[in-house]
Structure 1
Amino acid sequence: MELLKDLEFRGLIHQATDLEGLEKVLREESIKLYCGFDPTADSLHIGNLLAIVTLRRFQLAGHSPVALVGGATGLIGDPSGKANERTLNSADVVVEFTDKIRGQLSGLLDFENEENPATIANNYDWIGKLDVISFLRDVGKSFGLNYMLAKDSVNSRLEAGISFTEFSYMILQSYDFLKLYENEGVRLQIGGSDQWGNITAGLELIRKSIEDSKAFGLTTPLVTKADGTKFGKTESGTIWLDSTKVSPYEFYQFWINTDDRDVITFLKYFTFLTQEEIAKLEKEMLEAPEKRAAQKALAEEVTKFVHGEEALNQAIRITEALFNGSISALTGEEIKQGFKDVPSHELKKEDEPNLVDVLVESKIAPSKRQAREDVTNGAIYINGERIQEIDYVLSSKDRIENEFTVIRRGKKKYYLLKFL
């Protein structure tokens, strides 16, 4: 299937300039395209994932993606989609964030491909060299005030207030497109729907600066959830792509818990499964929704893309162990991932305490009487094994890698003992 036809099937074309012209160019030649990622945090998150996956789709179709890390624009702040002024980070923090995001992008796009490798650029390399006079004379003169005020990213902020700093962001992003067009031959900029004003402003700057230029812009839709909650947010916070901030198991769980109403859309957006494979999963979901085949496929595909096959297999092992109760089969690292957010209690490695005492001390049971009842009634499990002996003593054989013991009370309440 042709690239733009595939993007249309997936619902990934929200806005585009000269779609017919772009289709012709993509069919006839290999082009360079870019998307920008501002270093406003030390990790990308799944709100960035659609743009990354879209860049990868272009690369698989024979085109060369440029991932632009905004070392300069990250110092300014993009007003797009924001109700209030951003808090500015210091230069050293932005440099740190830039390096981390550069590293993440290197693992998600193919930089080793001999024919059409992905590349990374940093807009500080050209914006950092601009002096204010050159900026105002050579770039600023191309932007009319009324033109800028009409853009949604600016207009939506006029009532609440917008600083000259953020007001200038559109010009800087436009300059990025111009420099990449001039220096790297980049013909297409992609981004989320909130970037439409910035993208079209860049196209206008290229048109005014270079005779007979031909560049394009394309945006993907805003990702929304059927239940009205914000995509990429959970009770525990943002779903980051950095495995040290959100473990592969947590990442996998986010996707496997996708609502039936969203799962087919997300399979189209975020996976590289074919139209036929997605249609088959949709049919399975309609016929046997309890099997959650579509959710499993989504979780597996996206986790493998972001974290790799080994991390995916680890996430599946943890999931299956929790479902089956076979906790003892997990490694210490898997215990850390799977029980990251459960209540925990610390003990010394030389301790061999009575189970009833531990249940009370770790607040698993409110009293010794209740603890004894829980044990005798078969409600207490150690690493998945039911224990019904009131005088049971926890020893080193009950520890996983001599570090952890997992206690379960009832069907779903887990507690973690850490031995230090």
Structure 2
Amino acid sequence: MASVLDELLERGYIKQFTHEEETRKLLENEKITFYIGFDPTADSLHVGHFIAMMFMAHMQKAGHRPIALIGGGTAMVGDPSGKTDMRKMLTKEDIEHNVASIKKQMERFIDFSDDKAILANNADWLLNLNYVDFLREVGVHFSVNRMLTAECFKQRLEKGLSFLEFNYMLMQGYDFYELNQKYNCKMQLGGDDQWSNMIAGVELVRRKAQGEAMAMTCTLLTNSQGQKMGKTVGGALWLDPEKTSPYDFYQYWRNVDDADVQKCLALLTFVPMDEVRRLGSLEGSEINNAKKVLAYEITKLVHGEEEAKKAEEAATALFAGGADMSNVPTVTITKEEIGLPIIDIMASTKILQSKKEGRRLIEQGGLTINGVKVEDVNRTLNEEDLQDGSALIKRGKKNYNKIEVK
């Protein structure tokens, strides 16, 4: 029987290890506690977080105990990794709201019953630290010279790196130490963009506690051209159905590039690898069958089987010219809004994020109302558009919305 590490490697999750041989021995001989951190910078997780959730789920299925660490404390500082400018500072109220929302989402993917997993918030220890004690007990283990060579700081030095953000690495490193002491946590998992911060945590635990500590980074979700996946015309691909409807979520995966199907099946579903390889090897029009499996399986994991079936049925009906519109994402407007420009309506109902986006869509010939292309950016939604009280909007090739009048 293959070890969980072999399975993770086969599915393409792991990018780097701090201690590969030690990690292999540890996972083969013990059931360990490990953690992944999530900073609550928004009130929903997005698809970039989903790959980390799947990483955790595979480890949990193999008998290891995950700690989902929500960064209520670190979010007050902001992670400079991968950012060219300082992040917008969140209020305590924003962070508390985001933490509560993210907790609910995590419970869909990770089993927290009977101590099988732990949900922790680093605000519980970071917000109560004595600054001088922290410098003496933790700061002494960090070399500023070495920190400045870290990739997460390098790209910010030219534009300016605040002292606030410079502390982020120490805080994340201290998280690992705290979890090691409290839960005997021996491993951190995280995105490959967190490598420098993760090394800092491993070294802090080994130096300060003389404990076992190691880290593995997870592949970032990129397409065959190396670009990050999970972005739509409307912004990020969220796991919250209020931000990205189950139908739009399904359609995103249904429309991925042929070259990305096998990778996404391996990383974002529990489909067995033999079947992943079979589906990934399909060619021509047959690859669409693999895309349907991909879209259905991911939507089922994120939104449940019922929503996945609805999205699948809606897509099938629309593309086959069927009449069942019941499962197409629907927004409502008032009678008073009839006659307003369509881009105003689409922006106010969150079909699109802005009017600017709507104008660009029309200029590119990518918007239709009831099958008729919109060519004028000032085009209004009129009574004659509202067949039986509703209008069908199509964005691009395959994204549909229905507008109904209350």
TM-score by length of 2: 0.83
Matched, 1:295 2:291: yes
| C-alpha separation in 2, matches of 1:130 and 1:252 | 44
**SS class of match (1:157):** helix
Paired position in structure 1 for 2:309: 313
Quote how far apart the aligned CAs of 1:289 are: 3.5
| C-alpha separation in 2, matches of 1:200 and 1:228 | 25
| C-alpha separation in 2, matches of 1:418 and 1:302 | 29
Quote how far apart the aligned CAs of 1:276 are: 0.9
Quote how far apart the aligned CAs of 1:404 are: 3.6
User: Counterpart amino acid of 1:419?
Assistant: V
Quote how far apart the aligned CAs of 1:416 are: 4.7
Q: Contact 1:346–1:417 (CA<8 Å) still a contact in 2? A: no
Residue deviations 1:268-324 (CA, integer Å, cap 9, x gap): 1111111211122123x23x4445122111111111111111111111121112112
Correspondence list, 1:271-350, <5 A: 271-283=269-281, 285-286=282-283, 288-327=284-323, 329-331=324-326, 334-335=327-328, 337=329, 347=335
**SS class of match (2:69):** strand
Paired position in structure 2 for 1:67: 68
Paired position in structure 2 for 1:385: none
Pick closer, same or farther for the CA change 1:346–1:7 going to 2, 3 Å.
Answer: same
Q: Contact 1:73–1:173 (CA<8 Å) still a contact in 2? A: yes
Residue deviations 1:184-229 (CA, integer Å, cap 9, x gap): 1111100011111111100111111113x11110001222222454
| C-alpha separation in 2, matches of 1:307 and 1:176 | 31
Paired position in structure 2 for 1:11: 12
**SS class of match (2:138):** helix
Q: Contact 2:17–2:215 (CA<8 Å) still a contact in 1? A: yes
| C-alpha separation in 2, matches of 1:44 and 1:415 | 23
User: Counterpart amino acid of 1:106?
Assistant: E
Q: Work out which of the residue numbers 221, 224, 236 in structure 2 matches 1:223.
A: 221
| C-alpha separation in 2, matches of 1:92 and 1:104 | 19
Pick closer, same or farther for the CA change 1:412–1:138 going to 2, 3 Å.
Answer: closer
User: Counterpart amino acid of 2:65?
Assistant: S
Correspondence list, 1:56-95, <5 A: 56-95=57-96
| C-alpha separation in 2, matches of 1:54 and 1:417 | 38
Q: Contact 2:258–2:287 (CA<8 Å) still a contact in 1? A: no
Pick closer, same or farther for the CA change 1:53–1:380 going to 2, 3 Å.
Answer: closer
Quote how far apart the aligned CAs of 1:130 are: 0.3
Paired position in structure 2 for 1:29: 30
Residue deviations 1:73-94 (CA, integer Å, cap 9, x gap): 0110001111111111111111
| C-alpha separation in 2, matches of 1:314 and 1:80 | 38
User: Counterpart amino acid of 2:302?
Assistant: V
Pick closer, same or farther for the CA change 1:418–1:347 going to 2, 3 Å.
Answer: farther
| C-alpha separation in 2, matches of 1:20 and 1:292 | 40
| C-alpha separation in 2, matches of 1:345 and 1:126 | 47
Paired position in structure 1 for 2:154: 155
Range moving further from structure 2, 103-112 or 87-96: 103-112
Matched, 1:248 2:246: yes
Paired position in structure 2 for 1:418: 404
Q: Contact 1:317–1:330 (CA<8 Å) still a contact in 2? A: no
Paired position in structure 1 for 2:351: none
Residue deviations 1:347-372 (CA, integer Å, cap 9, x gap): 48xxxxxxxxx9x9998xxxxxxxxx
Paired position in structure 1 for 2:107: 106
User: Counterpart amino acid of 2:163?
Assistant: F
Q: Contact 1:346–1:419 (CA<8 Å) still a contact in 2? A: yes
Quote how far apart the aligned CAs of 1:153 are: 0.8
Matched, 1:208 2:207: yes
What is the aligned length? 365
Residue deviations 1:8-47 (CA, integer Å, cap 9, x gap): 1122211102211111111111111100000111111111
Pick closer, same or farther for the CA change 1:158–1:407 going to 2, 3 Å.
Answer: closer
Quote how far apart the aligned CAs of 1:345 are: 7.4
Paired position in structure 2 for 1:166: 165
Give the unaligned 5+ runs of structure 2.
343-368, 372-382
User: Counterpart amino acid of 1:315?
Assistant: A
**SS class of match (2:156):** coil
| C-alpha separation in 2, matches of 1:76 and 1:176 | 14
Paired position in structure 2 for 1:259: 257
Quote how far apart the aligned CAs of 1:260 are: 0.6
Which structure has the larger Rg? 1
User: Counterpart amino acid of 1:58?
Assistant: M
| C-alpha separation in 1, matches of 2:403 and 2:241 | 23
Correspondence list, 1:171-186, <5 A: 171-186=170-185
Correspondence list, 1:381-392, <5 A: none
| C-alpha separation in 2, matches of 1:413 and 1:121 | 38
Paired position in structure 1 for 2:232: 234
Report % sequence identity: 39
User: Counterpart amino acid of 1:43?
Assistant: S
**SS class of match (2:187):** strand
Quote how far apart the aligned CAs of 1:414 are: 7.4
Residue deviations 1:220-252 (CA, integer Å, cap 9, x gap): 122222245431112121101111000111101
Quote how far apart the aligned CAs of 1:419 are: 2.5
Residue deviations 1:367-411 (CA, integer Å, cap 9, x gap): xxxxxxxxxxxx978xxxxxxxxxxx99x9x74xxx645489xx9
Structure 1 runs (4+) deviating above 6 angstroms are 360-363, 411-415
Paired position in structure 2 for 1:189: 188
| C-alpha separation in 2, matches of 1:306 and 1:413 | 19
| C-alpha separation in 1, matches of 2:393 and 2:266 | 40
| C-alpha separation in 2, matches of 1:74 and 1:152 | 20
Quote how far apart the aligned CAs of 1:174 are: 0.3
Q: Contact 1:39–1:69 (CA<8 Å) still a contact in 2? A: yes
| C-alpha separation in 1, matches of 2:7 and 2:237 | 27
Quote how far apart the aligned CAs of 1:147 are: 1.9
- Kindly report the root-mean-square deviation, in angstroms, between the aligned alpha carbons of the 2 structures: 2.8
